[in-house]
Each structure stands twice: as structure tokens, then as C-alpha cells.
Amino acid sequence: MKENDKLLYKTMKTLLNEKLSDAEVESLKAEGFTVKNPTRKTAIMVALYKKASSGDLSAIKELRSIVSEKNEDKLQGSKAVVIIDDIST
């Protein structure tokens, strides 16, 4: 990764992890969302969820992609059992 790309990545990560203002948290609560330690990343995910729940196909696909990535990470961390038929008949 180039140095400039690293800087952009680090800056974006910092921005996304910033806490939401009290007004933004209250806005989420007024919409029925209760979250612990809400960050800008939380607000983006809520916005994506709202788009998907309204029927936006691209938002639905993006949510599915995010959820699938999380499930794949869990599966890769677990060890699979392999049964080998080593008894000859």
C-alpha cells in the first residue's frame, strides 16, 4: 500500500470511529434505534439499513455483503472436521 493510501485509510478509520454528538444520538433514539457507544460508523450502518429496508436493491446487496463477510470470518476461524474413510472393505 502506498504511503498516501495508508494516510487516507488511517484518516478515514479515525473519522469513522469518532463518537456521535448528543444531538445525533438523540436523533437515532427518536427513530427507534438504541445503540451502545454510537460512532459515525454506526450512523452510516443505520443509514444503510434504512435504505435497504425501503427496498433499495443496492443497499440490500451491500448489507448482505457485509453480513456475509462477517460470517466468512467466523467460519475461517473455526476448524472443520474431515472424515476420512480409511477402513478398507
Residue 83 lies in a domain: no
Give how far Cα 25 sits from Cα of 3, 7, 14, 42, Å.
35, 29, 19, 10
Quote the pTM value: 0.68
- Of 38, 59, 37, 41, nearest to 50 by C-alpha is 59
Residue 86 lies in a domain: no
| Count of structural domains within the chain | 1
Give how far Cα 33 sits from Cα of 27, 41, 82, Å.
9, 14, 43
Residue 22 lies in a domain: yes
Residue 50 lies in a domain: yes
pLDDT tier for residue 83 given thresholds of 50, 70 and 90:
low
Q: Where do we find the cell 436493491?
A: 57
Residue 16 lies in a domain: yes
Give how far Cα 30 sits from Cα of 14, 33, 34, 38, 84, Å.
27, 7, 9, 14, 56
Residue 39 lies in a domain: yes
Whole-number pLDDT of residue 2: 83
Residues paired with 39 in a beta bridge = 19
Kindly report, residue by residue over 15-73, the tens digit of the pLDDT: 999 999 999 999 999 999 988 999 999 999 999 999 999 999 999 999 999 888 766 65
The domain of 59 spans 3-77
